[in-house]
Chain A
Amino acid sequence: MKPAATSIERVLTTLGHREPDRVPLFLLLSLHGARELGLPIREYFRSPRHVVEGQARLQARYGHDCYNAFFYAAIEMEAWGGETRFFEDGPPNAGEPIVSRAGQIAGLSPPRVAECARLRQVLEAVAGLREKAAGEVPVIGVVVSPYSLPVMQLGFERYLDWQIETPEAIERLWRINQEFCVEWANAQLQAGATAICYFDPLASPTITPPEVYRATGWRIAQRTLARIAGPTATHLASGRSLAIANLLAQTGTAAIGVSALEDLAEVKRAFAGRVGVIGNLNGIEMARWTPAEAETAVRDAIARAAPGGGFILADNHGEIPWQVSGDTLMAISEAARKWGEYPLPGRDGT
């Protein structure tokens, strides 16, 4: 019997648009590490050792195909002088925006990774996970795109208003953000990340019209990804992607995290042979799924997108909510093995 591929072989094969031994599964769990260690979420993220141990235990328990070095999105804002609000049962959020007047942007400069203790902790976690992975499991680093970061820097309304009212200031902010994003991504790669998830929800046509994205976020993505010294996957965080599939395929990204709001088969066709598809289990519905519902969802996603490779089974948002139970995660993991072995079973299960 042929030995099972390692996770990294499985992922690389599918991203080469070929069929590996089975469909790779990314359970993108960050908060769940705290539960695994019996720690409050805030306490858990105080130490990179917690994150390494949490991720190792989660991967051992569910057998999925990655380590997720992501802490929480607002950690980048801490580098910019922002604050984070913690909750006992959900992801930490960014506090008040750091910019309230467009004139402040002229005085901003990108924070240096080496000078931010919190970012250095993430790098320690990446390095620790790289050691655990022993070359067999990909370690995923995460950056927020220069185009999406202003939502936390300015607040959503201001960001949308200023793109029209003070476009020069926003252009400048994007350039500053790009410098930070490139340094932050490359620091994670240097610390041992296998690939970088370029988290860009604003790129999605759910948020931004495609013609606006083409003139703004798309150009930023092309410039930024070209300077990141390793493979990247772009995540739209539940947002739609079909209307910009051709643009996304030209950014140099290797894979796209796609939405539960679009038909997965159609999405796969749009990206087939060009960009891998990551998704699209509904992370919100997942919180109430029975094991049988989880299996049905997994089986359906695999049937729609896995033929021919180019597909990684995951949730649609890039982070599985705290409210999703261990039983459901286990049901997803088991179903992925049951229905995801290549050659794939037919519709009748044979």
Chain B
Amino acid sequence: MREDNSIVSTPEAFLEALLDTDRLRARQVLEWASRPAGPEGALDSLMMPALERIGERWESGELALSQVYMSGRICEELIETLMPLRAGNGAAAEARVAIGVLEDRHALGKRIVLSVLRAGGIPVRDYGAGLSVGELVERTRADGIRVLLVSTLMLRSALRIKLLVAELGAAGLAVKVVVGGAPFVCDRRLAEKVGADAVGYSAHQAVEIVRRLLGDGR
């Protein structure tokens, strides 16, 4: 295959390809960076900085949610192609991190966070959407989850997290609960009110939060 020397392998070039929804360009930039750094290195040096920048720009109102979603989706596809082992980590037996949507059906926010966690190399189980408090407690217990990320859309379900935290505690589970979603963005005191251990206002914060709660200071 002829080499394309016009490819610039910088986080900015990768970010631009993501925001243009240019899958081919994003793949070329990532593959080019993989040559010296290896796929893992390229993910750390290109993909994560790009996703972080996108998350920050969404939080400041500069980018739209659809751009954050499509960027995450392209990154997931690239990981599946270039690093199938990392892509399959949702089913990995060692995953001690899980994510689910409490009661609401809207799963877009959860999907975006999932993409970012996978890009960050964090094995994570996807519990889906429309979950009850009881279901989340049971699955957390069965899977030995240490960090549970809970996404909500409506205020009523956000407030139900208080019950979830209480039930997890009553079951004697040593799990940290991370919350996110529109109600928490609108009210910065809500996470504390429901007893969450941490809150993410944008998907890109998930990797740092989960690593911190797992005691992995990478």
Contact = CB atoms under 8 A, between A and B. Distances in A.
B80 to A, nearest CB: 16
B105 interface: yes
A91 interface: yes
Nearest to A90: B156
B108 interface: yes
Nearest to B103: A87
Interface string B140-157: 000000000000001111
B81 interface: no
Contacts of B186: 238, 260-261, 282-285
B133 interface: no
B95 interface: no
B63 A157 contact: no
A164 interface: yes
B187 A164 contact: no
A128 interface: no
Interface string B165-192: 0000000000000000011011101100
Interface string A76-98: 00000000010101110111100
Interface in A74-121: 85, 87, 89-91, 93-96
B195 to A, nearest CB: 15
Nearest to A210: B64
B3 to A, nearest CB: 29
A5 interface: no
A287 interface: yes
Interface string B68-106: 011001000000000000000000000000000001111
Interface stretch (A200-208, A222-230, A271-279, A326-334): A200-208
Contacts of B69: 157, 160
- With most chain A CB atoms within 10 A of its CB, the pick from B67, B155, B156, B187 is B155
Interface of A, secondary structure class, is loop
Interface string A306-321: 0000000000000001
Nearest to B129: A155
Contacts of A96: 105
Contacts of B189: 285, 288
B156 A87 contact: yes
B61 to A, nearest CB: 5
B61 A261 contact: yes
A90 B187 contact: no
Given A282-B187, A287-B155, A206 B106 contact: no
Contacts of A93: 104-105, 154
Contacts of B159: 323
B66 to A, nearest CB: 5
A330 B193 CA distance: 24
B64 A285 contact: no
Nearest to A151: B106
The 4 closest A-B pairs by CB, nearest first: A90-B156, A284-B186, A156-B108, A284-B187
Given A157-B69, A282-B186, A321-B155, 15 more contacts: A91-B154, A95-B105, A156-B107, A156-B108, A205-B61, A206-B64, A206-B65, A209-B63, A212-B66, A238-B186, A240-B61, A261-B185, A282-B187, A287-B187, A323-B159
8 contacts: A90-B155, A156-B108, A164-B21, A208-B66, A260-B186, A283-B186, A288-B189, A322-B156
